[in-house]
Amino acid sequence: MMKRFYYLFVFLSFILFSSQKVYGQASFFDANVSKYGELEQVLGDKWDKFDSLIVHGPINKADFKTIVRCATDGSMQVVNLQYAQIENNKIPNSGFVDWGWQKPGYHLGIRRIILPDNITEFGEFAFYGLTLETINIPSSLRKLGKNCFDENRWLSVNPLIIPEGVTEIPTQCFQFCYKLKKVVLPSTIKTIGIFAFFDSSVDDMNFPEGLDSIGYLSMHGTRLTEVVLPKTIRTIGYKTFASNFKLKKVVLPEGLTEIPDNLCSSCIELEKIVIPESVIKINTEAFSACLKLKTNLPPKLKWIGSDAFSSSGLDSIVFPATMEYIGKEAFQDLEKLKKIYSMSPIPPVCYYNTMVNFGDGPFGGSTPSDIPVYVPIGSGEKYREAFGWNYFTNIIETDKFPTGIVSPKMSNNELCKVYGKDNELVIEIPNLLSSPIHYSIYSIEGTMIEQGNLIKSYTLRMPAKGVYIVRVGNTTHKISM
pLDDT in tens, 432-461: 665 667 788 888 777 778 887 777 888 988
| E-state strands within 267-384 | 272-274, 281-282, 303-304, 316-319, 325-326, 331-332, 339-342, 349-350, 363-364, 373-376
Architecture of domain 417-480 in CATH? Sandwich (2.60)
CATH number of 230-404: 3.80.10.10
3-state helix, strand, coil in the chain (%, to 5): 10, 30, 60
pLDDT at 219: 98
Which positions ≥6 away from 16 have C-beta within 8 Å? Answer: 32
pLDDT at 167: 99
Domain boundaries, the chain: 230-404, 417-480
Same CATH topology for 230-404 and 417-480: the answer is no
Condensed to tens digits (0 to 9), the pLDDT of residues 92-133 reads 999 999 998 877 778 999 999 999 999 999 999 999 999 999
Low-confidence winner among 62-66, 90-94, 162-166, 376-380 (lowest mean pLDDT): 376-380
Residue 26 has pLDDT above 80, yes or no: no
> How confident is the model over 84-93, as a mean pLDDT?
98
Q: How confident is the model at residue 187 (pLDDT cuts 50, 70, 90)?
A: very high
Condensed to tens digits (0 to 9), the pLDDT of residues 411-440 reads 444 467 888 888 889 998 877 665 667 788
Average pLDDT, the chain: 89
